[in-house]
A and B are shown apart, each in its own frame.
Chain A
């Protein structure tokens, strides 16, 4: 029934199956939006955050999905600036994933602040010294860049292409995409870094505070590097997941292996810098503020295991796996390595946000715990449902994987 909207040569599931899938996610979205509505209408008392645990699940997951969304800028960098043409195969999907991650994160941030209608104050009264100002500016601009980058993908829809004016517009847009990709790389570099800087500058939180270069703490650079490392892995994972669900070959295996290899090298560099940074922090930064780093790991559930897990189990291990050709060539192991790498960055974002706030600062402070409320979880589920829906529609009606037609016709 909707076949005239589907790209020629691509096979998609029946409209009935697609409708059931969409309906399910719409119901999930509705539930999530109800939680979000409660937080907006009744206030943030609907969450389990408090005056000590001022950030919770939302900030942790925002930081994680913004890192995952880095695949969009990094694939753009590889394709348009470093001229690695094999990544044409995944760039469209990467842009959609990036758009979902960034728009979802911005939507959650709008609920997370106490007075969302005052968000424009940051543009009107910006504090140039605040990392959050830089994050707000760069993420807002980059979201616009992603939306513009999404336009040519959207306008290539079979039906929309029939309109000559849209076709011309799409063609013109396509010519500026490399410029947009370059702007995206520039903006991403700064906001990924500033997200790391958010915590690294907090001298009042010696667990998070790091020394650095100039105005940037070391976490600024570590966040940029880790986001660049994880972006390709996340593209690898999402492509594999979509391939599994749709039962289609979407890209040549070499493309995924190539993504894995790049991810591996960057992850190895990240693990190296992270290890040096941790040693400097343990031996110099933290003791200089009279905080013994060992006390951080004496607290309840956050033992040194979390440091080991972050750097070795979810850092060094997946990096070495991704750098081993035989493991890369085995689909299952490649996905496992990608999953471990993404989990490692999520652990890092968790440590920087949740563990930082749980640990005491004043000598008579207790260690605090926090469990998110159902409204907080529901709000995030809404983002996932929104992402699945936007991706599902994009996958069905747009051309996200240019190699798909050839790969599947060869099979047939």
Chain B
């Protein structure tokens, strides 16, 4: 597969599938950081809001002892032909050309869900219920992130609240606004095995600039031409082949965490 040059000032996430234990700490950290409300009692794994979703994937080749792995699935922040951007009828999705981050403007979202139909990674979530926090728990809300209302779509934005805070801090220290700032999304910070790396190739934080070019790096469904900014690492050939649809077979999805 042809490797894609990522603009060095744009953020990438590199997730080491071989290190992921499927503990779900990233999912919890993400929900807390981004003010995702506790799931409604009637919510299912198909109607909940999980910006970061860890799925268990098995090869389906070797009977009972078949190998399995966990893949954390945030929004893939597609760099090319971003499917959700072109379909939105009212420009509620846009790509920040400086950071490469795909933004969902929930304040402008009509809730038509066309973007969700367009997303091949199923990384977008609809608010089927009003967000409600148990009494007292609203005190724990993150003041840097606006909660979303019922009837709109939302998704991972590489912890935009943290990005803004990092920019403000960098500006205080005299850094030029065009320079990428260093920060870490909640999922990467919370991962106990450090399976999630994040940064810009320009700054090479946590070695992401090198990792995206390693022989074990791959992306999901590369033939769709969406050029995701989320990379995965695995030394296992079946995982790489499966993710790129160059597999024999694979089965089973199980949400974990």
Contact = CB atoms under 8 A, between A and B. Distances in A.
Nearest to A43: B150
Interface string B76-93: 000001010011111110
B37 to A, nearest CB: 13
A336 interface: no
A195 interface: no
Given A43-B130, A51-B116, A363-B242, A290 B122 contact: no
A57 to B, nearest CB: 14
A125 B47 contact: no
Interface string B120-154: 11101111111000000000000000000111110
A364 B55 contact: yes
Interface in A56-113: 112-113
Contact of A127 (B91, B152, B223): B91
B117 A55 contact: yes
Given A362-B221, A364-B253, A115 B87 contact: no
Contact of B111 (A114, A289, A291, A364): A114
A198 B46 CA distance: 23
Interface string A199-225: 001111110000000000000000000
Given A114-B151, A132-B114, A50 B90 contact: no
A127 B88 contact: yes
A130 B122 contact: no
A54 interface: yes
Contacts of B194: none
Interface string B36-64: 00001010101110000001010000000
B61 to A, nearest CB: 13
B154 to A, nearest CB: 11
Interface string A117-136: 01101101111011111001
A45 interface: yes
A293 to B, nearest CB: 13
A296 B111 CA distance: 28
Interface in B195-242: 220-221, 223-226, 242
Given A45-B42, A204-B120, A115 B89 contact: no
Given A114-B110, A119-B110, A132-B87, A289 B57 contact: no
A332 interface: no
B113 A114 contact: yes
B91 A125 contact: yes
A129 B88 CA distance: 8
Nearest to B127: A114
Given A202-B118, A205-B117, A290-B246, A362 B220 contact: yes
Given A122-B89, A198-B114, A45 B122 contact: no
Contacts of B117: 54-55, 202, 205, 356-357
B166 interface: no
B245 interface: yes
Contacts of B48: 51
Query: Which of B42, B114, B247 is the most central at the interface, judged by chain A CB atoms within 10 Å of its CB?
Result: B114
Interface residues of B, number: 60
Interface in A271-323: 288-291
A365 B221 CA distance: 12
A179 B131 CA distance: 50
Interface string B87-113: 111111000000000000000111111
A357 B113 CA distance: 12
A119 to B, nearest CB: 7
B245 A290 contact: yes
Nearest to A119: B110
B89 A127 contact: yes
Contacts of A384: none
B87 A121 contact: no
Contacts of B92: 121, 125
Contacts of B190: none
Contacts of A54: 113, 116-117, 126
B44 A50 contact: yes
A204 B245 contact: no
B226 A363 contact: no
B243 interface: yes
A392 interface: no
A45 B40 contact: yes
A130 B87 contact: yes
B21 interface: no
A290 B124 CA distance: 23
A7 interface: no
A190 to B, nearest CB: 15
Given A55-B113, A363-B243, A44 B126 contact: yes
A357 B120 CA distance: 11
B88 A130 contact: yes
B108 A121 contact: yes
A51 B125 contact: yes
A42 B202 CA distance: 48
A124 B110 CA distance: 12
A203 B253 contact: no
B250 interface: yes
Query: Which of B88, B90, B118, B120 is the most central at the interface, judged by chain A CB atoms within 10 Å of its CB?
Result: B90
Contacts of A125: 90-92, 108
Nearest first, the 6 closest Cβ-Cβ pairs linking A and B are: A114-B111, A114-B151, A204-B120, A50-B46, A54-B113, A132-B89
26 contacts: A44-B111, A51-B116, A51-B122, A51-B124, A52-B46, A54-B117, A113-B111, A113-B151, A114-B110, A121-B108, A125-B91, A125-B92, A125-B108, A126-B91, A130-B87, A133-B89, A136-B89, A201-B86, A202-B87, A203-B120, A290-B223, A290-B244, A363-B247, A364-B55, A364-B251, A365-B253
Given A43-B128, A115-B111, A363-B57, 6 more contacts: A51-B46, A55-B113, A121-B110, A126-B89, A204-B118, A289-B223
Interface of A: 43-45, 50-55, 112-115, 118-119, 121-122, 124-127, 129-133, 136, 198, 201-206, 288-291, 356-357, 361-366, 368
